[in-house]
Structure 1
Amino acid sequence: MRVPDDPVVARLLVAAQGVLLVLLVVVPRRGGWPVPGVLAVLCGALVAVGLAIMLAAGTTLGRGLTATPLPNARAELRTTGLYGVVRHPIYSGLLLAAAAFTVGTGSATRLAVLLLLVALLTMKARWEEVRLARRFDGYAAYAARTRRFVPRWFRTTAGGGAGG
């Protein structure tokens, strides 16, 4: 069996992400929890924050921004600003917005879709990081000091530990 080329895999990952995002919005609300008004407002604000993070991170990439998780010819390794806080701020913003939307709707079915989205974005980020490490000499050192999605200052356990 032939292994698909990187561009094919990249497009499949983006397509799967798109399907999960559509499902997150369109699945009917089944099961779940009550959402008090203050929580709904807070979740709405967090959705806006997540979208703002995505916009700011995408703008930072400039012409290096691509629709797929493959660096294009204009890509540069960004390690400051939002990229100094997490390696994948676009994904972080997306996950914040998706989680806030899910909590704010009180939907167990949406929670299941959100968990699938977290798993997919984790896999997609790992896949992307292999390509970034091949492309940029400093990527391994950057990855060693910068978490993947959640900033270090959210860490609640003592001790070291790698990962993102």
Structure 2
Amino acid sequence: MRTPNATALLERWFNPSDLDASGIPLAFKEQLEALMHMAPDERLGKDSWVRVHDDRYRAVHFMELPAPEGPSRWALKIEEIPRSIPLPEAMKRKLRPSEVRVVTGMLTNWNDRQIASELGRSHHTVKTHVKKIFSKLGVDDRADLLYQAAHLNIPV
């Protein structure tokens, strides 16, 4: 059984050739078969499948379901997780496009040199953008920026 969201993720993540006859991705089937032959203590740290794709983590957690008798049953929790805190629209509206690219790097926890390298800008240019971003958004430093962005992303 699959939820519609899980089906959508699997269709986006895998080609039909990556699936076995039951429709489960071969990578998941192999890991699940290995987990089924391990004692519960041996499974620790081996019960997840995580891959980085673009700006997201693709994660699957394998969970054995309690069963009184008979073969074990498993559930797979499938999710995509952003690699950074998303930039809230309220903040984005206050910034120029070049500043948005810099603040996106900051929300990914990159330092100024990493941002400069990624954007093809000088370290000095990025430092100037960072100062302007702090002023425009009314934040004191990177930690305050991360806190404010996370706070604004909390659903009401």
TM-score by length of 1: 0.24
Does 1 or 2 have the higher relative contact order (CA < 8 Å, sep 6+)?
A: 1
User: Could you say which structure has the higher strand fraction?
Assistant: 2
Higher CA-based Rg: 2
TM-score by length of 2: 0.25
